[in-house]
Amino acid sequence: MHALIAAFRFLTRVPLPGRATTAADLPWSVAWFPLVGGLCNAAVAGCAVGLATWWPAPLAAVLAVTAGLLLTGGFHEDAAADAADGLGGGRGDRERILAIMKDSRIGAFAGMALWVVLAFRAAVLTALLTGPAAWAVAGYALAGVLGRWSAAPLLRLPAAGSGLAKDIGAGISGRVVAAATVVAGLLTAAAFYARVDRAPLMVAAALVATAVWAAYLWRAVRGQCGDLLGAGNLVAEAAALLVLCAR
């Protein structure tokens, strides 16, 4: 339970009671990332469905995306922005990439990445609102499950720098990855039962995206760090959503 609470505290702004989270809780909290990601995405999609009863679908989608940012504190969006600045401005230089990502200032690549991420989410929700509500919520939730699952295998890469990701990665064992996979598998089965018939293809897309991202990180910086992990979660999630929304 401490690991589950740690996962919620790490990925969201939801205040939870109980003892303070310790460093020892964080590696096993990764096993629960798929559940937290699924619940967050389900909340966002449910918000969009509810708001669409009062406003047009595009407006409902934008408001739901905003609610999602409040729920998570823009955790992954901040990571994606820093990763875009580092990878875009580093020009293949490993040390420069890592140095840029540590800079709190936002650059042109970060601005473009944020626009793409937020516009993509709003467009996806708008598209999903044309279908049954239960299907939209379950499909969007599954993408969150698969996106957050990708953190487990990506953390097995060597740490590319200092920081919390290095400390968590040092405690990530094969058992943690297996546990995260079991959680994601059970939630995928639940989504398939909820008539998300593209669930197997979404899983395949997320697996391919995670593998490609891992290979890219190894080539670019010889490992992982927090910003690159967060960006990788969004890459895997986006791959699953593209399959879900394909005609």
Structural domains counted in the chain: 1
pLDDT of residue 169: 85
Residue 16 lies in a domain: no
Residue 22 lies in a domain: no
Residue 196 lies in a domain: yes
Give the span between the Cα atoms of 113 and 107, in whole angstroms.
10
pLDDT of residue 171: 84
pLDDT of residue 164: 80
- CB contact burial 31-51 (16+ within 10 A = b; e otherwise): bbbbbbbbbbbbbbbbbbbeb
Q: Across the 247 residues of the chain, what is the mean pLDDT of every consecutive 10-residue run?
A: 91 88 86 98 98 97 98 95 94 91 90 97 98 97 98 94 80 93 98 95 98 96 94 98 96
Residue 51 lies in a domain: yes
Residue 5 lies in a domain: no
Residue 18 lies in a domain: no
Give the span between the Cα atoms of 228 and 80, in whole angstroms.
7
pLDDT of residue 100: 94
Give the span between the Cα atoms of 6 and 31, in whole angstroms.
11
Digit-coded pLDDT (tens) for 144-184: 999 999 999 999 999 987 778 888 888 888 999 999 999 99
Helices (H), 92-225: 94-102, 108-128, 133-149, 151-154, 164-170, 174-193, 199-221
Contact 62/122 with Cβ under 8 angstroms?
yes
pLDDT of residue 10: 93
The identity of residue 73, as a single letter, is G
pTM of the model: 0.96
The whole domain housing 124 covers 32-245
Residue 187 lies in a domain: yes
